């Protein structure tokens, strides 16, 4: 027994002694210091600068590194392969001069002497967006528009008063990179309240803050329990697997619990339904049915692109548009503006959240709704709708 224990102990000692902690080391061990980059030039961009340079003649060169410090004190480091001669330094919140140091670095991680250059970026996009903001009261909250000409990745932070009158974050921040920003936050009673809006980029540069005091317009959910299908002579035929009621069954994307109309009709087509109560409508939210393409894809196939919404309190039995009032003409906008069938994360997030369409002001009270498709994303007219929700004043 003793002998076995001794043998086991000896084996463990040998194994431990044979273990060695791996350490990350340079690919090569060459202590030669590379030459510095030369002929450095730069072009200013919005909150950034693009540098070009000549790399030194060194077979051991791996990359060129730029080191600079933002106004916040954050030290930034950008690397570019030795195959190219360009890199971008970004994250500047002002238009002051900023020193950038460039280093040539070998495969042995040996740096050259730094070459210093001072760049002066153009105005950060947060400021143009901030100056263009227009805010107004909307149904259930606040609506604002702005221009993001640079298509910068921005966060729009919104604060509002709590029960003690203190401005606090709403947790309804908006993240976007589109040019034409048109957003709303809702869920507030029609009581005067203060809002604050500020713009931030991903380097934590902030614009000034816009303060506004508004009274949200009254708005309530029109209960789906009152929605009913109506079939009139001119209404389009449906895909036999789906029904009009698929638009209010609580499932936004599960087949066949959706509305899909006939793809054989290539002219404008429409469907009709009853919302159960005469109401002053404020908006409609439409969840497009996401087709199966690279996962689930919005802004595709029969998803509405150009369409109209009509309303009446007395639909004629012949299916004509007599007695109907057009509540709004709409166009679906893909946030990224990317090619058909290609979606960004923002596109998918926006589509999954449902698309809001606000009705024209001063429209009459209605009970019956028609959605009229003029053109879908595919370029024809059939509709593929996962779910809808109407809002307004049913009192």
Q: Decide which of 103 and 26 is more confident.
A: 103
Q: Are residues 141 and 283 in the same domain?
A: no
CA distances 22 to 11, 17, 109, 278, Å, are: 22, 14, 18, 74
Q: Is the pLDDT of residue 68 over 60?
A: yes
Query: Mind listing the pLDDT tens digit for each residue in 333-345?
Result: 998 889 999 999 9
> According to the model, what pLDDT value does residue 3 have?
45
> According to the model, what pLDDT value does residue 16 have?
47
104 in any annotated domain: yes
Q: Which domain holds residue 99?
A: 38-119
287 in any annotated domain: yes
Which CATH number fits the domain that encloses residue 94? 2.60.40.10
Share of the chain above pLDDT 70, in %: 93
20 in any annotated domain: no
For 276-289, the DSSP string reads EEEEEEEEEEEEEP
Give phi and psi for 369, each to the nearest 5: -120, 140
Q: Is the pLDDT of residue 10 over 90?
A: no
> According to the model, what pLDDT value does residue 356 have?
94
What 3-state class would DSSP assign to 145?
strand
Q: Are residues 357 and 372 in the same domain?
A: yes
Query: Mind listing the pLDDT tens digit for each residue in 298-312?
Result: 999 999 999 999 999
How many folded domains does the chain comprise? 3
Query: Mind listing the pLDDT tens digit for each residue in 100-138?
Result: 999 999 999 999 999 999 999 999 999 999 999 999 998
> According to the model, what pLDDT value does residue 254 have?
94
Query: Mind listing the pLDDT tens digit for each residue in 359-385?
Result: 987 899 999 999 999 999 999 999 999
Query: Quick check: 123 and 95 in contact, CB under 8 A?
Result: yes
pTM: 0.74
The confidence band for 395, taking pLDDT boundaries of 50, 70 and 90, is confident
Q: Are residues 51 and 175 in the same domain?
A: no
H/E run at residue 17: helix 2-18
Q: Is the pLDDT of residue 212 over 90?
A: yes
Q: What is the arithmetic mean of pLDDT over 137-141? A: 89
What 3-state class would DSSP assign to 349?
helix
Among 58, 91, 119, where does a domain finish? 119
93 in any annotated domain: yes
> According to the model, what pLDDT value does residue 17 have?
47
d(CA 146, CA 157): 13
């Amino acid at each position: 027994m003793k002998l076995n224990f001794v043998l086991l102990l000896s084996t463990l000692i040998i194994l431990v002694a044979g273990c060695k902690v791996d350490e990350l080391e340079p690919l090569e061990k060459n202590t030669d210091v590379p030459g510095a980059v030369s002929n450095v030039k730069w072009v200013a961009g919005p909150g950034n600068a693009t540098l070009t340079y000549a790399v030194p003649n060194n077979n051991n060169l791996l990359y060129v590194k730029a080191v600079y410090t933002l106004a916040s004190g954050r030290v930034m480091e950008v690397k570019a392969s030795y195959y190219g001669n360009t890199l971008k330094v970004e994250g500047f919140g002002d238009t002051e001069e900023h020193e950038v140091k460039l280093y040539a670095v070998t495969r042995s991680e040996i740096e050259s002497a730094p070459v210093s250059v001072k760049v002066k970026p153009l105005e950060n996009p947060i400021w143009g967006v901030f100056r263009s903001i227009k805010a107004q009261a909307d149904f259930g909250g606040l609506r604002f528009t702005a221009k993001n000409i640079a298509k910068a990745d921005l966060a729009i932070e919104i604060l509002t008063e709590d029960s003690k009158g203190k401005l606090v974050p709403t947790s309804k921040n908006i993240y976007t990179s589109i040019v034409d920003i048109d957003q709303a936050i809702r869920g507030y009673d029609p009581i005067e309240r203060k809002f604050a809006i500020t713009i931030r980029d991903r380097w934590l540069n902030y614009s000034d803050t816009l303060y506004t005091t508004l009274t949200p317009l009254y708005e309530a959910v029109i209960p789906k329990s009152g929605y009913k299908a109506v079939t009139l002579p001119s209404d389009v035929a449906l895909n036999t697997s789906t029904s009009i009621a698929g638009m209010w069954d609580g499932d936004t994307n599960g087949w066949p619990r959706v509305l899909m109309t006939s793809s054989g009709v290539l002219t404008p087509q429409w469907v009709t339904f009853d919302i159960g109560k005469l109401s002053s409508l404020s908006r409609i939210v439409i969840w497009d049915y996401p087709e199966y393409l690279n996962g689930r894809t919005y802004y595709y196939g029969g998803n509405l692109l150009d369409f109209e919404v009509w309303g009446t309190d007395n639909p004629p039995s012949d299916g004509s548009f007599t007695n109907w009032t057009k509540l709004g003409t709409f166009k679906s906008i893909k946030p990224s503006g990317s090619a058909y069938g290609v979606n960004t994360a923002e596109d998918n997030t926006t589509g999954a959240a449902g698309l809001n369409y606000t009705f024209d002001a001063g429209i009459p009270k209605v009970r019956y709704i028609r959605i009229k498709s003029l053109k879908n994303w595919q370029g024809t007219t059939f509709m593929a709708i996962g779910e809808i929700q109407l809002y307004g004043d049913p009192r």
